[in-house]
Structure 1
Amino acid sequence: MFESLTEKLQSTFKKLSGQGKLTEKNVSDALREVRFALLEADVSYKIVRQFVDDVKERSLGQEVLGSLTPELQIAKIIGDELTNLMGQKSEKIQVSPSGTTVLMMVGLQGSGKTTASAKLALKFKTEGRNPLLVAADIYRPAAIEQLQILGEQIEIPVFSMGIDVSPVSIAQAAVEQAINRSNTFVIIDTAGRLHIDEDLMGELENIQSCVNPTETLLVVDSMTGQDAVNVAEHFSKDLDITGVILTKLDGDARGGAALSIRAATGTPIKFVSTGEKIDGHTLEEFYPDRMASRILGQGDFKTLLDRAESIFSEEQAKELEEKLMSKKGLDFNDMLTQFEQINKMGSLDQLIGMVPGMSKALPKGAQVDENQMKYAKSIIQSMTLGERRNYAILDRSRRQRIAKGSGTRVSQVNQLVSQLKMMNQMFNQQAVHAPQFGLSIGKGPKNKLARKKRKRRR
């Protein structure tokens, strides 16, 4: 995500390292490269010019913090201005006070509108809501069938009246049924076109005026860059667009659409979507400050924590803490549980990108091998219950049997055992130093006191 832009910005910051302070010359040199980076990211010239002017004014003004180095100062200022450019704060979906919130999904064909509709429905279902999907695209071949298949996958009902009824009538009937059956969210998947035309806009205007949706969300392909902004501007002229969903963000190396849409149209980005897989983590609420952090290569730790909190229950966290407080440490059953929970949080590639500093630590072009976790799970599942609980009994013959049973090599089994040992060593060290960091795990105070007593005896 935004790899090309991130790389160019980090290269710019690196050139400022070692310099004593920000001056008019080094700021101008840095901003020249920032300007080129944003233009290459397909951000419009008008927006880039205003952005650079704002950064320059702050960099040479009184807002520079003396405790920061020049590269950190300029990075902080650029991060703040990127956040302002994308909308400053997250914009939530409006909920209708009547009890049934109607969302109308619009966009060009191929933007990922139907998939985004299903992802949105799953999000609401996960939150305990009662969503209804509406198949109002009667023109695209198999559009209704596609939505029905997706609805079956996520176990959410799909309202359909076939292809012989007008989309306006379908939308009206769906909303009436939703009210009668107490559906709290209605998501209308409307028809798209290969390009914007009068027939498309006229039909969408009729649907909007008849069902009066709580929100009208425009779905745009982020990989189209400035074209996505042009689409947003055209739709906004004829429809009351209340929010944007950016799709295919994982394939966008530049970031022009994300950086331009809010500034160009005034319409907030409400969600970003990655990939075609429909699960709880391929559709995220859009937070401008977190996206700015990702663009700068500083990760997105807040989103990572949000995902972890949604996956790990309080009971699991308490059980893990009790294990860490004991001298037994973690075993392979714990490791297997962690692997399964991590899988629920999203792809490893995506999670690593959220860890601050990790993108810099990995070699350029390095790929995360998802198969390594599969191999590790296979190794653990090939162990007996006793071996999982106590890896100390894993002698050579046992390791050879496990390798053969899991389809791996003995060296991979050895590596996994070493990883578990290292994890326990790290947790033991953390337990010793826990009081210094306000942590509750381990028996830090006693250990610390014992060390002080030993020093006095000497």
Structure 2
Amino acid sequence: MFDQLSKRLSGSLERLRSRGRLTEDNIRESLREVRVALLEADVALPVVKEFIARVNDRAVGQEVTKSLKPGQALIKVVHEELKHVLGDEQAPLALDRQAPVVILLAGLQGAGKTTTAGKLARLIQERHKKKVMLSSCDVYRPAAIDQLETLAGQVDAGFFRSAETADPVRIATDAVDHARKQFADVLILDTAGRLAVDEAMMDEIRRVHAAVDPAEVLFVVDAMTGQDAANTAKAFHEALPLSGVVLTKTDGDARGGAALSVRHITGAPIKFLGTGEKIDGIEPFHPDRLASRILGMGDVLSLVEEVERKVDQKQAKKLAGKVGKGSRRFGLDDFRDQLLQMDKLGGMGALMDKLPGMGNLPDAVKSQVDDKQTRRMVAIINSMTPKERRYPDIIKGSRKRRIAAGSGLQIQDVNRLIKQHKQMQKMMKKVGSKGAMAKMMKRLPGGMPGGGGGMPF
């Protein structure tokens, strides 16, 4: 997400960073580039106009032109104004009501409401330690109720299936009663969508809303629809008191205009981003962190939080004990564990998206980051015997042919994996030696964090 926008904005602003003095002409020229970048990213025109006006007012005043480092001061202004457009502060879910707290999901057909319901249930159970129940009021889409019931089973949430009825309002009220009897803390109601906004759908969801008085009304919208996402959100906001927005399919949107438009147009905060097809592919929306990612500064905080949640700490400690202890201690089993841990974090692509400066890498380098390669490597290791995984040196001709056939790959792939494992062994031995880590960090662009290569302000 935001690949094109990030590249354009960071490129325009980078040219100003090192300048000792900025003139109004310099600033206006750069802001023209920023304006074009935003419009190409499908950001709504009213949003672009207001954003550029606010940055310009601050930039041509004392705040930037009289600053000791005007280039960096301008980047700081752009960062703060981007954060303002995105919503300033994170908007958490309102879960402090009397149970069951009802969360109503609304949106067009195909936006991802049902999948989002399952993802939200998992997130609320894991992070808020609440008992969650799911129910579907969609009586039109074939198998919609079955799909939600399957998702509820995957995340160990409760599920309410109503008796045969075609009345969504009755389903909603029965679900609230059932959730109360089952002592559920949160009830997530999935509603029907249409291919386009129509009065019948709006009337139905208004009646459901009036019957259950939800604590949260979340509008679920496909981020890849660009400006249409913001316009559809506006139509729903006029019919319902939206408390927040969930942007889905953000992993497939290279432009990101919806995220920058929807908050401004509806006034409703973005609360979550759908980041993939997996059931854990959802994350709370942090305006400041996303603003940093757009400007190529990365999102280290989110990365740290993700590592704490998803990485197996016992395995990490076990691996740490092998660093610097000799090459034989780090076997192919350990290598596979590290590959699987990386896959849990979304793969190399997701990691790079959150690391500072990665947006400036050449496209040729980015194209080599292929998460499918990780899964191929795991398949090769799984095709080995325990002895081969522990002592890779014994893997010769006939063994390589058997392993390649077992993983459905070529002998060259097996050779490449063994070579990468040996390189990893050498690197880990060096890292474990005294002073090696400091030497390695000095070779990195910008040096250690805080040594000139970190945040621009």
What TM-score does the superposition give when structure 2 sets the normalisation length?
A: 0.86
Deviations 1:406-439 (A, max 9, x none): 44444433332332333333334433227969x9
Report the equivalent of 2:81. Answer: 81
Matched residue SS, 2:12: helix
- Specify whether residues 163 and 112 from structure 1 end up closer, same or farther in structure 2 by C-alpha distance, changes over 3 A only: farther
CA contact (8 A) 1:87 1:268 kept: yes
Over aligned residues, Cα RMSD in angstroms?
2.8
- Specify whether residues 163 and 137 from structure 1 end up closer, same or farther in structure 2 by C-alpha distance, changes over 3 A only: farther
CA contact (8 A) 1:22 1:59 kept: no
CA contact (8 A) 1:96 1:214 kept: no
Report the equivalent of 1:56. Answer: 56
2:331 maps to 1:338: no
Matched residue SS, 2:194: coil
CA contact (8 A) 1:104 1:215 kept: yes
Report the equivalent of 1:433. Answer: 435
- Specify whether residues 251 and 409 from structure 1 end up closer, same or farther in structure 2 by C-alpha distance, changes over 3 A only: closer
2:29 maps to 1:29: yes
Matches of 2:376 and 2:342 in 1, distance apart? 15
TM-aligned CA deviation for residue 347 of structure 1: 4.2
Report the equivalent of 1:192. Answer: 193
Report the equivalent of 1:375. Answer: 376
Report the equivalent of 1:447. Answer: none
CA contact (8 A) 2:230 2:261 kept: yes
Deviations 1:235-276 (A, max 9, x none): 22232211110112122222221002222222110001134x
Report the equivalent of 2:42. Answer: 42
Aligned AA for 1:265? T
Report the equivalent of 2:302. Answer: 303
Query: Across the two proteins, how many residue pairs are aligned to each other?
Result: 435
2:415 maps to 1:414: yes
TM-aligned CA deviation for residue 401 of structure 1: 5.3
TM-aligned CA deviation for residue 405 of structure 1: 4.6
CA contact (8 A) 2:59 2:77 kept: yes
Question: Which residues of structure 1 form unaligned runs of 5+?
Answer: 440-458
Matched residue SS, 1:183: coil
Report the equivalent of 1:445. Answer: none
Report the equivalent of 1:262. Answer: 263
Matches of 1:412 and 1:175 in 2, distance apart? 55
Query: What fraction of aligned residue pairs are identical, expressed as a percent?
Result: 41
TM-aligned CA deviation for residue 185 of structure 1: 1.4
Matched residue SS, 1:356: coil
Aligned 1:48-447 pairs, distance under 5 A = 48-64=48-64, 70=71, 72-127=72-127, 128-161=129-162, 164-275=165-276, 277-280=277-280, 282-324=281-323, 326-328=325-327, 329-363=329-363, 366=367, 368-394=369-395, 399=400, 402-403=403-404, 405-431=406-432, 432-433=434-435
CA contact (8 A) 2:245 2:270 kept: yes
- Higher mean displacement: 413-422 or 237-246: 413-422
Matched residue SS, 2:91: coil
TM-aligned CA deviation for residue 77 of structure 1: 2.7
TM-aligned CA deviation for residue 367 of structure 1: 5.8
- Specify whether residues 378 and 362 from structure 1 end up closer, same or farther in structure 2 by C-alpha distance, changes over 3 A only: farther
- Specify whether residues 402 and 223 from structure 1 end up closer, same or farther in structure 2 by C-alpha distance, changes over 3 A only: closer
Deviations 1:154-202 (A, max 9, x none): 4434322256341111111111111111112100011222333333223
TM-aligned CA deviation for residue 214 of structure 1: 1.2
Matched residue SS, 1:324: coil
Aligned 1:7-22 pairs, distance under 5 A = 7-16=7-16, 19-22=19-22
Matches of 1:77 and 1:100 in 2, distance apart? 43
Deviations 1:45-91 (A, max 9, x none): 22212211222233334444967583x54433322211111012211
Matches of 1:227 and 1:67 in 2, distance apart? 42
Aligned AA for 1:51? F
TM-aligned CA deviation for residue 344 of structure 1: 2.0
Report the equivalent of 1:453. Answer: none
- Higher mean displacement: 189-198 or 86-95: 189-198
Aligned AA for 2:424? M
- Specify whether residues 418 and 67 from structure 1 end up closer, same or farther in structure 2 by C-alpha distance, changes over 3 A only: farther
CA contact (8 A) 1:35 1:52 kept: yes
- Higher mean displacement: 401-410 or 316-325: 401-410
Matches of 1:167 and 1:311 in 2, distance apart? 37
- Higher mean displacement: 342-351 or 265-274: 342-351
Matched residue SS, 1:29: helix
What TM-score does the superposition give when structure 1 sets the normalisation length?
A: 0.85
Aligned AA for 2:76? K
CA contact (8 A) 1:47 1:260 kept: yes
TM-aligned CA deviation for residue 150 of structure 1: 3.0
- Specify whether residues 418 and 73 from structure 1 end up closer, same or farther in structure 2 by C-alpha distance, changes over 3 A only: farther
- Specify whether residues 384 and 137 from structure 1 end up closer, same or farther in structure 2 by C-alpha distance, changes over 3 A only: closer
- Specify whether residues 144 and 293 from structure 1 end up closer, same or farther in structure 2 by C-alpha distance, changes over 3 A only: same
- Higher mean displacement: 263-272 or 291-300: 291-300
- Higher mean displacement: 49-58 or 323-332: 323-332
Matches of 1:403 and 1:359 in 2, distance apart? 35
Question: Which residues of structure 2 form unaligned runs of 5+?
Answer: 442-457
Matches of 1:89 and 1:244 in 2, distance apart? 14
Matches of 2:429 and 2:196 in 1, distance apart? 61
Matches of 1:83 and 1:46 in 2, distance apart? 17
Matched residue SS, 1:133: strand
CA contact (8 A) 1:138 1:163 kept: no
- Specify whether residues 19 and 142 from structure 1 end up closer, same or farther in structure 2 by C-alpha distance, changes over 3 A only: same
- Higher mean displacement: 306-315 or 330-339: 306-315
CA contact (8 A) 2:431 2:437 kept: no
